[in-house]
Amino acid sequence: MPIDVHEIDVAEARRRLDAGARLFDVREQGEWDEVHATEATLVPMSALVDRWQEIDGGDEPAIVVCHSGVRSARVVAALEQSGVPAVSLAGGMVAWEQSGEPVVRDAQGEPRHEH
Protein backbone atom coordinates (compact mmCIF):
# COMPACT_ATOMS: atom_id res chain seq x y z
CA MET A 1 0.00 0.00 0.00
CA PRO A 2 1.53 3.37 -1.01
CA ILE A 3 2.33 5.85 1.73
CA ASP A 4 0.60 9.20 1.27
CA VAL A 5 3.15 11.91 2.02
CA HIS A 6 4.01 15.21 0.42
CA GLU A 7 6.60 14.78 -2.31
CA ILE A 8 8.49 17.47 -4.17
CA ASP A 9 10.50 17.26 -7.37
CA VAL A 10 14.16 18.18 -7.76
CA ALA A 11 13.42 21.71 -9.00
CA GLU A 12 11.29 22.45 -5.93
CA ALA A 13 13.91 20.85 -3.69
CA ARG A 14 16.56 23.15 -5.20
CA ARG A 15 14.35 26.19 -4.63
CA ARG A 16 13.80 25.19 -1.00
CA LEU A 17 17.48 24.40 -0.40
CA ASP A 18 18.43 27.80 -1.81
CA ALA A 19 15.89 29.32 0.63
CA GLY A 20 17.53 27.60 3.61
CA ALA A 21 15.90 24.17 3.87
CA ARG A 22 18.07 21.17 4.69
CA LEU A 23 18.43 17.87 2.86
CA PHE A 24 18.66 14.60 4.81
CA ASP A 25 19.75 11.32 3.22
CA VAL A 26 18.23 8.28 4.92
CA ARG A 27 20.16 5.62 2.99
CA GLU A 28 22.81 3.50 4.69
CA GLN A 29 26.50 4.42 4.97
CA GLY A 30 27.60 2.25 2.01
CA GLU A 31 25.07 3.88 -0.31
CA TRP A 32 26.10 7.32 0.95
CA ASP A 33 29.77 6.53 0.32
CA GLU A 34 29.03 5.57 -3.29
CA VAL A 35 27.25 8.85 -4.10
CA HIS A 36 25.39 11.57 -2.24
CA ALA A 37 24.15 15.09 -2.77
CA THR A 38 26.75 17.67 -1.80
CA GLU A 39 24.31 19.46 0.54
CA ALA A 40 22.92 16.38 2.26
CA THR A 41 23.36 15.21 5.84
CA LEU A 42 23.37 11.46 6.45
CA VAL A 43 20.81 10.17 8.96
CA PRO A 44 20.40 6.49 8.05
CA MET A 45 16.90 5.05 8.30
CA SER A 46 18.34 2.34 10.58
CA ALA A 47 19.40 5.07 13.04
CA LEU A 48 16.23 7.13 12.80
CA VAL A 49 14.84 6.01 16.15
CA ASP A 50 17.88 7.50 17.91
CA ARG A 51 18.51 10.48 15.62
CA TRP A 52 15.14 11.79 14.40
CA GLN A 53 15.50 14.97 16.49
CA GLU A 54 18.51 15.95 14.33
CA ILE A 55 16.25 16.41 11.33
CA ASP A 56 15.33 20.06 11.06
CA GLY A 57 14.63 21.80 7.77
CA GLY A 58 15.03 25.32 9.10
CA ASP A 59 12.23 27.65 7.99
CA GLU A 60 11.05 25.06 5.46
CA PRO A 61 10.10 21.41 6.02
CA ALA A 62 13.10 19.07 5.97
CA ILE A 63 13.72 17.42 2.60
CA VAL A 64 14.29 13.67 2.88
CA VAL A 65 16.00 11.63 0.15
CA CYS A 66 16.82 7.95 -0.38
CA HIS A 67 17.68 5.98 -3.52
CA SER A 68 14.31 6.09 -5.28
CA GLY A 69 11.83 7.72 -2.89
CA VAL A 70 10.34 4.67 -1.14
CA ARG A 71 12.31 4.81 2.13
CA SER A 72 12.16 8.60 2.26
CA ALA A 73 8.34 8.45 2.07
CA ARG A 74 8.30 6.08 5.06
CA VAL A 75 10.65 8.35 6.99
CA VAL A 76 8.59 11.45 6.18
CA ALA A 77 5.44 9.70 7.42
CA ALA A 78 7.20 8.83 10.69
CA LEU A 79 8.64 12.33 11.09
CA GLU A 80 5.28 13.97 10.51
CA GLN A 81 3.70 11.71 13.15
CA SER A 82 6.40 13.00 15.52
CA GLY A 83 5.62 16.61 14.66
CA VAL A 84 8.64 17.21 12.37
CA PRO A 85 7.60 18.90 9.11
CA ALA A 86 9.19 17.04 6.19
CA VAL A 87 8.77 16.25 2.49
CA SER A 88 10.10 13.41 0.37
CA LEU A 89 12.22 14.01 -2.73
CA ALA A 90 10.31 12.25 -5.52
CA GLY A 91 12.57 9.86 -7.41
CA GLY A 92 15.30 10.08 -4.76
CA MET A 93 18.97 10.19 -5.67
CA VAL A 94 18.14 8.72 -9.07
CA ALA A 95 16.17 11.88 -9.95
CA TRP A 96 18.72 14.13 -8.23
CA GLU A 97 21.59 12.81 -10.34
CA GLN A 98 19.57 12.74 -13.55
CA SER A 99 18.73 16.42 -13.08
CA GLY A 100 22.43 17.34 -12.95
CA GLU A 101 22.50 18.43 -9.32
CA PRO A 102 25.97 18.26 -7.69
CA VAL A 103 27.05 15.00 -6.06
CA VAL A 104 30.05 13.57 -4.24
CA ARG A 105 31.21 10.08 -5.26
CA ASP A 106 33.17 7.50 -3.24
CA ALA A 107 33.42 9.79 -0.19
CA GLN A 108 36.65 11.30 -1.61
CA GLY A 109 35.31 12.67 -4.89
CA GLU A 110 35.03 16.34 -5.62
CA PRO A 111 31.53 17.82 -5.95
CA ARG A 112 30.57 17.86 -9.60
CA HIS A 113 27.57 17.91 -11.89
CA GLU A 114 26.76 14.53 -13.42
CA HIS A 115 24.33 13.73 -16.21
**Per-residue pLDDT reduced to its tens digit, 68-113:** 999 999 999 999 988 899 999 999 999 999 999 999 988 554 444 4
pLDDT at 2 over 70: no
- Give residue-wise pLDDT tens across range 6-44: 999 999 999 999 999 999 999 999 999 999 999 999 999
pLDDT of residue 44: 96
Mean pLDDT (whole number) for 46-50: 91
Three-state DSSP state, 55: coil
Burial of 93 (0-12, 13-18, 19+ CB in 10 A): buried
Domains of the chain, CATH where assigned:
7-106 (3.40.250.10)
Per-residue model confidence (pLDDT) at position 3: 63
